[in-house]
Chains A and B, each alone.
Chain A
């Protein structure tokens, strides 16, 4: 089980890193932007009829906001993982403490 998890993680890292090497020298721009250029080619006369209400002041500010979005997500997942591992450990510890007392509630219910 542990080994399989490690292999999955390795595959994810390779899938992410290998493109940088395989398509070396490419611009790695956003696909959204390429689509906008394609619209320009298909319908040269098309003018966007609405502008974003707020645009990040620069690429730096945009990456700040993207990092914030990722951090919010990762934070919640990390909190849950930490809580779950702690709960599992506490449950295991209690099972050891309780020993042969079969009738008692040994579930580590932390809610």
Chain B
């Protein structure tokens, strides 16, 4: 989902940077507040960050014959709230922009918005809806991580379509084209991410249940076992 360096016109690059900077400032405060209130959660926050680091480095093959990677930010959004994942996604994307020429500094704002803002917030919203519907925790976690991942790639497609509308079909035709590249490729990978997130949440429930009673994923009334 990285928009490559220099591949957004300056006005778009600047606009996304301003939007993402606002979310980043909010996310840093949210993260700091959570870790001050619950210092014992520091290790788990490290695990959530490590999960995003690991997953976004794995470029997996997809049925479309191209490769893409999961994002891993859904897990942290369910454990620490979506805002706390903005700084984590920012660090991951900065690492890749500076060392790997994946994404870039001019497109960092747009990439942070899709992966570190839309992804976690979509995952969190899906989880809340699933919990309200009374679905089991595993199903709710799966849906949240899977759809959060897809939302990131849909956002990237939209950002590119907005910047590069089709000369004939406009933004709509352009969106179909980019979504064909990003969102379609992402479907099996998003399912994998959903399943993997369920496995990790189960492990956390077993080992750290007490420390996380107040975390969104354990506090919002989903049934313990499916």
Interface positions of A (Cβ within 8 A of B): 5, 8-9, 11-12, 15-16, 18-20, 22-23, 26-32, 34-36, 38-39, 42-43, 46, 48-56, 62, 65-67, 69-70, 72-77, 80-81, 84-85, 87-88, 111
Known: A12-B195, A30-B59. A23 touches B64 (CB 8 A): yes
Q: Is the interface of A mostly helix, strand, loop or mixed?
A: helix
Q: Tell me, rounded to whole Å, the shortest Cβ–Cβ distance linking A97 to chain B.
A: 21
Besides the contacts A38-B160, A49-B106, A88-B206, what 5 more A-B pairs have beta carbons closer than 8 Å? A26-B66, A51-B6, A65-B100, A74-B54, A76-B50
Task: Judge whether A28 and B4 touch: CB under 8 Å.
Answer: no
Task: Judge whether A8 and B181 touch: CB under 8 Å.
Answer: no
Task: Judge whether A22 and B47 touch: CB under 8 Å.
Answer: no
Whole-angstrom CA separation of A16 from B58 in the bound complex: 11
Task: Judge whether B68 and A31 touch: CB under 8 Å.
Answer: yes
- The CB with the most chain A CB atoms within 10 A, among B54, B191, B198, B199, is that of B54
Whole-angstrom CA separation of A22 from B185 in the bound complex: 13
Q: List 18 A-B contacts (CB under 8 A).
A: A8-B199, A15-B192, A18-B188, A23-B63, A30-B59, A34-B66, A34-B181, A35-B160, A35-B182, A36-B4, A38-B164, A49-B10, A50-B6, A50-B105, A54-B98, A66-B59, A72-B54, A75-B50
Task: Judge whether A28 and B61 touch: CB under 8 Å.
Answer: yes
Contact of A88 among B62, B67, B207 (CB under 8 A): B207
Whole-angstrom CA separation of A69 from B53 in the bound complex: 6
Whole-angstrom CA separation of A9 from B67 in the bound complex: 20
Whole-angstrom CA separation of A22 from B104 in the bound complex: 33
Task: Judge whether B66 and A8 touch: CB under 8 Å.
Answer: no
Chain A, Cβ-Cβ closest to B185: A31
Q: How extensive is the interface on chain B, given as a class?
A: 35 or more
Contacts of B10 on A, CB cut-off 8 Å?
49
Q: Is the interface of B mostly helix, strand, loop or mixed?
A: helix
Task: Judge whether B55 and A73 touch: CB under 8 Å.
Answer: yes
In the complex, whether B46 has a CB less than 8 A from a CB of chain A is yes
Chain B, Cβ-Cβ closest to A5: B199
Q: Would you give the 0/1 interface string for B96-140, flagging 1 where the beta carbon is closer than 8 Å to chain A?
A: 111111111110000000000000000000000000000000000
Q: Tell me, rounded to whole Å, the shortest Cβ–Cβ distance linking B207 to chain A.
A: 4
Known: A42-B174, A54-B101, A111-B40. A32 touches B2 (CB 8 A): yes
Whole-angstrom CA separation of A15 from B191 in the bound complex: 8
Q: Tell me, rounded to whole Å, the shortest Cβ–Cβ distance linking A41 to chain B.
A: 8
Q: Tell me, rounded to whole Å, the shortest Cβ–Cβ distance linking A16 to chain B.
A: 5
Task: Judge whether B5 and A52 touch: CB under 8 Å.
Answer: yes
Contacts of B103 on A, CB cut-off 8 Å?
32
Whole-angstrom CA separation of A26 from B1 in the bound complex: 20
Q: Tell me, rounded to whole Å, the shortest Cβ–Cβ distance linking B144 to chain A.
A: 16
Whole-angstrom CA separation of A28 from B46 in the bound complex: 32
